[in-house]
Chain A
Amino acid sequence: MGMLLCNLDSSLLELVRRTSTELPADVRNVIHQAIQREQQDSIAQNALNIIERNIQLAQERSLPLCQDTGSCLFYIDCPVGLDQMMFAEKAREAVKEATRRGYLRQNSVDSLTGKNSGTNIGIGMPVFHFHQHNSPEIKVRMMLKGGGSENMGQQYSLPMVSLKANRDLEGCRKVILDAVLNAQGKGCGPGILGVCIGGDRATGFEHSKEQLLRKLDDTNPIPELAELESTILKQANELGIGPMGFGGKTTLFGVKIGAMNRLPACYFVSVSYMCWAFRRQGIQLSEDGSVQNWLY
């Protein structure tokens, strides 16, 4: 623990900076592929070209790629014995410093008074998820999720009569597509869906966001879910909503679905919508707290 403290501050700050100003390779790849796919000189293709230019500019200037730097979500895999309170405090300091330096916008508002804390620190912000594991490794993943996309998240309780959606994977398919239809271009699409089938109303959304930590080009190890993911991706793109809702072939870049156990009486499908500015990054720390490698 003593050694870890040496370089932890600067590693966490660098994690926040890179998350806000650079998109990971898997996201850049799907954006680039979508440009090839859209009709030449269509407004959809031109929108994606502007998006790609924006990604380059943000990286060169080391400035936020979107002015809504969203909520700060941390996911930490750690060994037994890591002082989680200390670690969370270090991460809060990194967020404060990143805000002071302009990598993050002042984005934490008191819900009763409307007052902005100015630091991105407040009750429930940032968000921490610690997972202990039987390994000495410490991995810290970070995701920034903007308000426009967060507003497009939905939770369905099956059965749903209006869509004839029953408590099965076919019912899940219908409600997940419904979430895409309702979002139109308002979540800054093309989007990426994180979905959880099952769980309760709280854990369902939590797990749906964790699905977004998966790389876009991975394959779901559960065959039924892998199939559902590819079906929804294909059908969502048939909807023709397109980049920014301008119309076009790319409505979603990816769909990641997980499942959790549920109560016999409950069947929730929780859908989190992520915008094209899919800011997530991660680091594995070496013993002295420096960055050993980047995870995305």
Chain B
Amino acid sequence: MIQLEAPFTEEKIRALKLGDEVEITGIIFTGRDAAHKYIHEGGELPPDMDLKDKIIYHCGPVVIKDENGDWKVVAAGPTTSIREEPYQGDIIKQLGLRAVIGKGGMGEKTLAACKEFGCVYFHAIGGAAQVLASNIKRVRGVHFMEKFGSPEAMWELEVVKFPVVVTMDSHGNSLHKEILEKSTAVFNRLVNK
């Protein structure tokens, strides 16, 4: 298990390879459909929100206010990443992201951006909303709450030992592509194609 602290250096990200299991400690930002579309269309981020060398997590968390009036994340699994494929590559470049966390993997455009700009795709366990919420220790803030609503807002979260797997690295490799090719070969044999 590799321990990584966010924000990342390019060197640390370039050292990762497919199948590496990583535990992330540090700051992550959630962002899903509305945020990606907004940033891609040139929407501005607040001045205190710098995503350089940081992470975007494809997640629409369930967040409540506890008895002290503090935000508390009660469920926070990943959402399907492929919906952000039209935007992700450009956003990696534009913001200087070092990692994206999601589920299901992404396509060629994102893979190429990971290679060119030094970024990786981390796969979290889909459906594991409780395990992942328990790795989120604190909500540091929330951006675009009014504009996008709670699930789509950009939550700034402090995570400890958040478990993920590298499924797209910064050297042009994708586990999703490999598994698709291998399983297609078996399928063709099974159906005599």
Contacts and interface: CB of A to CB of B under 8 A. Distances in A.
4 nearest A-B residue pairs (beta carbon):
A67-B75, A57-B130, A188-B126, A54-B128
Nearest to B20: A43
Nearest to B77: A67
A50 B126 contact: no
* Contact-residue size bin, chain A (C-beta under 8 Å from the other chain): 35 or more
Given A43-B21, A245-B104, A246-B175, A188 B127 contact: yes
Interface of B: 19, 21, 60-62, 64, 74-77, 79-80, 82, 103-105, 123, 125-131, 134, 163, 165, 167, 175-176, 178-180, 182-184, 186-187, 190-193
Interface string A151-195: 100000000000111000000011001100100111010000000
B176 A245 contact: yes
Interface stretch (A5-13, A58-66, A75-83): A58-66
A67 B62 contact: yes
Contacts of B192: 164
B51 to A, nearest CB: 23
Interface stretch (A119-127, A213-221, A233-241): A233-241
A103 B60 CA distance: 16
A82 to B, nearest CB: 35
A24 interface: no
Given A174-B191, A184-B179, A185-B179, A65 B103 contact: no
Contacts of A163: 191, 193
Contacts of B179: 184-185, 240-242, 245-247
A235 B129 contact: no
Contact of B125 (A50, A165, A239): A50
26 contacts: A43-B19, A47-B165, A51-B125, A54-B129, A63-B74, A65-B127, A66-B127, A67-B75, A67-B129, A102-B74, A148-B80, A148-B126, A151-B80, A181-B187, A184-B104, A184-B179, A186-B105, A240-B183, A244-B103, A244-B125, A246-B167, A246-B175, A246-B179, A247-B179, A275-B126, A277-B127
B187 A102 contact: no
A60 to B, nearest CB: 9
A244 B75 contact: no
A175 to B, nearest CB: 9
Contact of B193 (A53, A63, A67, A164): A164
Nearest to A106: B151
A147 to B, nearest CB: 8
Nearest to B61: A67
Contact of A50 (B61, B80, B163): B163
Interface of A: 43, 46-47, 50-51, 53-54, 57-58, 61, 63-68, 102, 105, 146, 148, 151, 163-165, 173-174, 177-178, 181, 184-186, 188, 235, 238-242, 244-247, 275-277
Contacts of B21: 43, 46
B186 A244 contact: no
Contacts of B128: 50-51, 53-54, 66
A43 B112 CA distance: 24
Nearest to B62: A67
Nearest to A238: B186
Given A184-B176, A238-B190, 4 more contacts: A50-B128, A50-B131, A240-B186, A245-B179
Contacts of A148: 79-80, 103-104, 126
Contacts of A57: 130-131, 134
Given A181-B183, A184-B183, A185-B179, A54 B126 contact: no
A58 B130 CA distance: 6
